[in-house]
Chains A and B, each alone.
Chain A
Amino acid sequence: MSIKVMIPTPLRVYAGKRDSADIAAATVGEALGRLTSEFDELRKHLFTEDGKLRAFVNVYLNDEDIRYLAKENTPTKDGDTISIIPSIAGGTSKNAD
């Protein structure tokens, strides 16, 4: 079973300049795990040190945000596409939220 993971432009440099990777996986979490095993440098930009998906990193399975599905346990099927899209956030240092 193969699913396509689209690599966002800023992270392609850590994935051999590829814009996508075909990965065999049964869930979104497994796909991201295999992707970051294959391209280790990607990991720190997608996951925190304790292995959680960074809050500003959004993952879509065929245009559906996985937060509204089963998150990283969302099952995948042959031909699915996973997109990784950042939220952009920032601001000054005072009054951290």
Chain B
Amino acid sequence: MSEILEIGISAELAAKIGEHGVETYPYECCGALLGRDPSFTEKDDSEAKGHGPSREILDLFPLVNRRDDSPRNRFSVTGEDVREAEKSASAQGLEVVGWYHSHPDHPARPSEYDRDHAWPWYSYIIVSVRAGVAQDMTSWRLKDDRSGFSEEKIDSVKVGAAV
């Protein structure tokens, strides 16, 4: 069953993700996406899983890439970093709804390695940074059966006034 996935992010926050990727180029950058997902604030089961109103990103939590052995093509965020991101989100009444990272000199498409290290539900934003310039930005969610990712539409206008 196909579904339309959508994520809202202000142009300003989207630009910040690109800037983070440029800053760390040629290494990968990474960070948490803090926001709201209305489908999870409702406790009833009236909405099927994965459906419902689109989620919104309202803040970013930039993180340090812990991979010092191959930072050009890998990023890693420890469980402790994840807990810190969750605390930061919670303090703002938000949730960690996903993660972003850059693909230096590679397309903004998830790799097999990305798939092996993902969970469903999270949004995974990837920004391609070529020759130090941020280019395409895409967002993905892992399928329930872990067989691959579904691309979600990035709506960078919707959230403009929400921060």
Contacts and interface: CB of A to CB of B under 8 A. Distances in A.
A88 B117 contact: yes
Given A85-B82, A92-B73, A56 B113 contact: no
B158 interface: no
Categorize the interface residue count of chain B.
35 or more
Given A10-B121, A13-B121, A90 B79 contact: no
Interface in A54-68: 56, 58, 60, 65
Categorize the interface residue count of chain A.
20 to 34
B95 to A, nearest CB: 6
A9 B70 contact: no
A97 interface: yes
Main secondary structure of the interface of A (DSSP, over half): mixed
Given A11-B121, A93-B112, A44 B77 contact: no
B20 interface: no
A92 B106 contact: yes
Interface of A: 8-13, 17, 41, 44-45, 56, 58, 60, 65, 85-97
